[in-house]
Amino acid sequence: MTRTSEVEVDCPGCGSRQTAPLCDAVGAEAEPHLREEILTGRINTFLCDACGYEGFLDGPLMYYDMNRQYCVQYLPEEVLEDPENLEGFTADGKWNVDLDLPAGGLADFLKEPHVVFDLDEMRRYIVFRELLHDRDAERPQNPTMR
Ligand SMILES: [Zn+2]
């Protein structure tokens, strides 16, 4: 489910037009190098071929971890400016993703991602969830609550 598309960008440094990869979904196990890029803040950055300008491509980014059973969705703040984008949210701020998944399946968590509006917050949330997972892995006698 990792998705990367090529987008056209005008370099803010020199104006030269080029294509750059923009990733909008990352699976923890499938794409460990992209997980690393999220954690180091390198995700969706581009380097201009012409002038060497380093830029950032802002777009929605979803990260999911099947093993640890969670999903976090980054949305650029601008997304909220379009009323249509608010339609998918409940009044208490939950995002109901319309996914056709088998009922009671292991991937149910994908339907209700933790939503953040900052990539730094996404990074911290991933670290947080991995710490919780490690904590519980060290206590195998306690059943995990799900
Ligand atoms: Zn440039």
Q: Would you say residue 107 lies in a domain? A: yes
pTM of the complete model: 0.84
pLDDT at 110: 86
Q: Which domain holds residue 125?
A: 3-137
**Residue 142 within a domain:** no
Residue 143 is assigned to a structural domain of this protein = no
Å from CA of 31 to ligand 1 middle: 28
pLDDT digits (tens, 9 = 90+) for 80-134: 899 988 888 888 888 877 767 666 677 788 888 999 999 999 999 999 999 999 9
Confirm whether 144 is domain-assigned.
Answer: no
The DSSP secondary-structure symbol of 108 reads G
Distance 16 CA to ligand 1 centre (A): 6
Alpha carbon of 116 to ligand 1 centroid (Å): 30
Structural domains of the chain, count: 1
Report the length, in residues, of the chain: 146
Ligand 1 centre distance from Cα of residue 32 (Å): 29
- Helix 119-137 to helix 32-39 angle (10° resolution) is 120
Residue 110 located in a structural domain: yes
Helices and strands of the chain, counted as H and E runs: 3, 7
Tell me whether residue 118 is in a domain. yes
Q: Which long-range contacts (CB under 8 A, 24 or more apart) does 35-38 make?
A: 35/63, 35/126, 38/63, 38/119, 38/122, 38/123, 38/126
From the CA of 23, how far away is ligand 1's center (Å)? 21
